[in-house]
Structure 1
């Protein structure tokens, strides 16, 4: 049973309410301690001032009837004043008015006439921690200006006992005030802070169960301004997320339908492509001239269907990292695209012969092939020649591969969703898969593909491949 209670206590102390309760008690007790120290010093001064006042009354009685006071009456006056000796100075004359034998020598003298607050606090704390019963001398001013000075000797033990009793009562009162204050603040925090936070947490849990349900979006109700701002921000986020989820769901359904249509359409187009191939051997000159265009159109349609199916089928495999000779890889890409330094579309490779990087050569080939093909098609679409430049550099943290061209640049609409599938086609008639796949392959290496520049003078892409991701 005890471990269960200990576990519950530990959970409570880890809550906002529990920690606030502990902090409240601690701070209230600290405040009470700061009040207790000067108050106990004030109590000690009042205690000694009361002894001085009693001793003054006894001494005045002795002076009023000096011939009639017997030794027994003098001892009774000293006992009532709880002192051993009383010295009164009047008119510059120091007079021992009442006296008795001291049980021990005087160990300390305290002058209350000009003592400062820090001195009084120090003496009070010393008195509390010193358990010995000493004889002390106390000097003060007489009340009602009945003299210049009054001096008494007394025991310190009764004063220490009275101070301990007073301090205990103060501590008990402080503890009671702390508990009541902490309980009231605990209720206030529960009402104003903890319950609204718990309500937000419950809304978050309920929303997480069905984020597409718009009825579960939180409605701001907190009275505290900061909490209300948090609820309003969460409401905006949940509404945006719900809308995005609905849009993603529609796109997923649309993608499934497109995949089914593309599969069936590919089969139909493949059959049409077989018939079109036969038309190329026709003796009719008109048919012979039209057949290549028909075959090209059908081939592009088949390629579109296959690209769509391939993109939606699965994610790209993880890259297999190994050393890559970048010059040889770039040369293979340029040769595969039919580029030469003296052609209409020239390819300039500015990569050092010993430049090597760590990457997946097959995936990097696809990325560069995509970028180079797009650059070549952009230049060809302009109807004039141009140049494709491929260069590489490195820093302490990454390798950089630059692919630039002197084509007409990308249209503004294409730049907005350049790396999004089916939305960021870089050329007219493109479906926007090439750059999306290229960006995904580069991200698989831990890097990124950026559009560095695109204007009337050409387009430039920059591949960042980090060295840290392959350091192990």
Structure 2
């Protein structure tokens, strides 16, 4: 009960209401004490009227009047003359005087609290203004014990009443909060628990229904989160199925490529000059295809190895990638330009870096072929003290906004119709495996430029 939200609300509500009642109780006690003393002044004034009507009173009658007024003596000031009207023997001397005519609220509260916590019976003098302007002032002496007992009795009744009011208020407030807040929160928690049992089931996504603005906003946020998570899980399931299919295809394709690799040994022995010139490129392409199939199978087993870093001649990798895309261009008026410093070496996995560059050049070629007007593809390389840089740019139409938003996300970052977006996703992952970055440097109506950054030394990147 104490650890639940409803239990703590009930306890806190009761405590706060009690604090409010105490803040009311203290001034009430002060006001009760003031009214008690004013009442004694009024009684004493009424008793003094008997003496004003008859100058000589029987001592027994005078004592009875003072007992009824619960005072020891009465002093009236009329016409600037102070007159002892009624008096009797006092058991002890006056210890303190209280003037009610100009007492402030804080003074009354202070005196009331002092009297509440002082059990000693004392004689005090009380001064006030007579009612109905029957003189300038009236003064009486009285005991404090009856006053304190009356204050305690009054305070006890007030505290009991306050406690009852606090409990009733707390229960009513608790029931209201339970209906308006706690019950809807439990409903949201129930939705979350049911959704957690089968997050792939879109029927379990919460439908906002709360009437409270803040709670409805929480339900809306939860609905968005659950919708995104459900879509992500479905996408993950599709990727898992696709990975399984790709692994099977790669397995069979590897066997086919291995057989083709055996035939190239005989082709290399041909005396035809054209065959001799093309055979090494064919062998290299088939070898890369076999390596790709093996890597795909390793990835399907979640065992894809990291890059094997060696010093590779960048010019050769770029020429191989560009040569393959030139053949794919056909009769399209696409011009390929390479600007690579002679003998430039980079520390990378040659096969993986080839795949990255080939993917970027292929995307550029497809973008230019898509507009049917040709253009230019440029591959440039450079280096700084901390990193190597490779830029692949084209004069195509630029990337659409949707493609830029999900640029390196599989199946969402495709820039052309029918594209899967896997090329850039794979390229970015391979570059990341080298400790580098693949970034979109710029794209607009005049073309697009991607930049590969490979770190030197400890891997600290410095974008050129």
Q: By the TM > 0.5 criterion, same fold?
A: yes
The equivalent position to 1:242 in structure 2, one of 220, 224, 230, is 230
Which residue does 1:374 correspond to in 2?
A: 357
Q: What's the offset of the Cα at 1:348?
A: 8.8
Distance 1:304 1:317 in 2: 12
Distance 2:377 2:230 in 1: 49
Which residue does 2:430 correspond to in 1?
A: 437
Which residue does 1:412 correspond to in 2?
A: 399
Distance 1:300 1:293, change over 3 A: same
* Partner secondary structure for residue 200 of structure 2: coil
Which residue does 2:332 correspond to in 1?
A: none
* Unmatched segments (≥5 aa) in structure 2: 320-336, 366-374
Q: What's the offset of the Cα at 1:316?
A: 5.9
Distance 2:338 2:204 in 1: 61
* Aligned residue runs from structure 1 range 264-283, under 5 A: 264-282=252-270
Distance 1:114 1:318, change over 3 A: farther
Q: Does the 8 Å contact 1:43/1:163 carry over to 2?
A: yes
Q: Does the 8 Å contact 2:247/2:296 carry over to 1?
A: yes
The equivalent position to 1:460 in structure 2, one of 435, 448, 451, is 451
Aligned length: 423
Q: What's the offset of the Cα at 1:95?
A: 1.0
* Unmatched segments (≥5 aa) in structure 1: 1-11, 320-328, 352-360, 394-400, 443-447
The equivalent position to 1:173 in structure 2, one of 154, 157, 161, is 161
* Partner secondary structure for residue 340 of structure 2: strand
Distance 1:13 1:370 in 2: 62
**Cα shift readout 1:68-123 (whole Å, capped 9, x = no counterpart):** x2111111111111100001122222111110111111111111111111111111
Which residue does 2:325 correspond to in 1?
A: none
Distance 1:264 1:150 in 2: 118
Q: Does 2:136 align with 1:153?
A: no
Q: Does 2:121 align with 1:130?
A: no
Distance 1:450 1:119, change over 3 A: farther
Q: Does the 8 Å contact 1:55/1:86 carry over to 2?
A: yes
Which residue does 1:70 correspond to in 2?
A: 58
CA RMSD of aligned residues (A): 4.2
Q: What's the offset of the Cα at 1:51?
A: 0.5
* Partner secondary structure for residue 110 of structure 1: strand
Which residue does 1:254 correspond to in 2?
A: 242
**Cα shift readout 1:142-196 (whole Å, capped 9, x = no counterpart):** 1122222110000011111111111111111111111111111111111111111
Q: Does 2:334 align with 1:346?
A: no
Q: What's the offset of the Cα at 1:289?
A: 6.9
Q: Does the 8 Å contact 1:333/1:368 carry over to 2?
A: no
Distance 1:377 1:450, change over 3 A: closer
Which residue does 1:47 correspond to in 2?
A: 36
Q: What's the offset of the Cα at 1:41?
A: 0.8
Q: Please, what TM-score do these two structures have when normalized by structure 1?
A: 0.76
Which residue does 2:27 correspond to in 1?
A: 38
* Partner secondary structure for residue 84 of structure 2: strand
* Partner secondary structure for residue 222 of structure 1: coil
Distance 2:26 2:206 in 1: 51
Which residue does 1:118 correspond to in 2?
A: 106
Q: Does the 8 Å contact 1:375/1:404 carry over to 2?
A: no
Distance 1:215 1:466, change over 3 A: farther
Which residue does 2:389 correspond to in 1?
A: 403
Distance 1:162 1:367, change over 3 A: farther
Distance 2:266 2:158 in 1: 110
* Aligned residue runs from structure 1 range 271-310, under 5 A: 271-282=259-270, 295=283, 298-310=286-298
**Cα shift readout 1:223-278 (whole Å, capped 9, x = no counterpart):** 21211121122122212221221222122112101111110111122112212332
Distance 1:284 1:337 in 2: 25
Q: Please, what TM-score do these two structures have when normalized by structure 2?
A: 0.78
Q: Does the 8 Å contact 1:367/1:441 carry over to 2?
A: no
Distance 1:285 1:337 in 2: 22
Q: Does the 8 Å contact 2:376/2:395 carry over to 1?
A: no
* Partner secondary structure for residue 103 of structure 1: coil
* Partner secondary structure for residue 130 of structure 1: coil
* Aligned residue runs from structure 1 range 346-365, under 5 A: 346-347=340-341, 365=348
Distance 1:121 1:467, change over 3 A: farther
Q: Does 2:208 align with 1:225?
A: no
* Aligned residue runs from structure 1 range 178-189, under 5 A: 178-189=166-177
Q: Does the 8 Å contact 1:390/1:403 carry over to 2?
A: yes
Distance 2:295 2:272 in 1: 34
Q: What's the offset of the Cα at 1:33?
A: 1.2
Q: Does the 8 Å contact 1:133/1:155 carry over to 2?
A: yes
